[in-house]
Amino acid sequence: MPGRVVTLLEDRGACTWGVAYEVRGEQIAASLEYLNMREAVLGGYDTKLVKFHPQEKDAEEPILALVYIATPQNPSYLGPASEEDIAAQIIVSSGCAGHNIEYLLRLADFMRYFCPQAEDKHLFSIEEALISILPCLYCTEESPEETASVPQKSKG
């Protein structure tokens, strides 16, 4: 069951933090072909060129970067939801690249480590909601404390 992914929604006044990859020479055609199939044809995203501002201090000017913008016309588009509903969707979803739980946790870690100045309250609220739900998945009829306190008969 494919799940939620980080979905860029077009917002002219917004800022998105992330990583840009530079491809050169023979890589360009193969990369664009792969990304177009994965993101535009199969994924239902629109392709846009945007200004990307590298964090490196020696970067003088922004560079053009290719991004994929979600469209509500995509049949897999889930639309807005509460952080708790998104976390519940993530818990039951996985795709060919792995489980959605790992995707979310790695993304949150990436943002903390590489973009500490970006305050993504939405992302971290989803992470918090997911972490609060996870222990409930492992609940049994008896809690570990109850089973530990039950006297055991010894052989002898």
**How is residue 108 annotated by DSSP?**
H
Q: What is the pTM of this model?
A: 0.73
- In tens, the pLDDT along 114-147 reads 888 888 899 999 999 999 988 877 665 454 444 4
User: In this structure, what token pair is assigned to residue 85?
Assistant: 């509903």
Average pLDDT over residues 12-19: 81
Contacts of 87 (CB under 8 A, 6+ apart): 126, 129, 130, 132, 133
pLDDT of 77 reads 77
Catalytic status, residue 39: yes
- In tens, the pLDDT along 47-106 reads 889 888 888 767 778 889 998 887 777 777 787 889 999 999 999 888 777 888 998 999
pLDDT of 123 reads 92
Domain boundaries, the chain: 27-139
From the candidates 10, 26, 33, 39, which is the catalytic residue? 39
pLDDT of 1 reads 62
Q: CA dist 46 to 15, 39, 64, 79, 91, Å?
A: 18, 8, 16, 16, 27
With 50 as the cut, is the pLDDT of residue 148 above it?
A: no
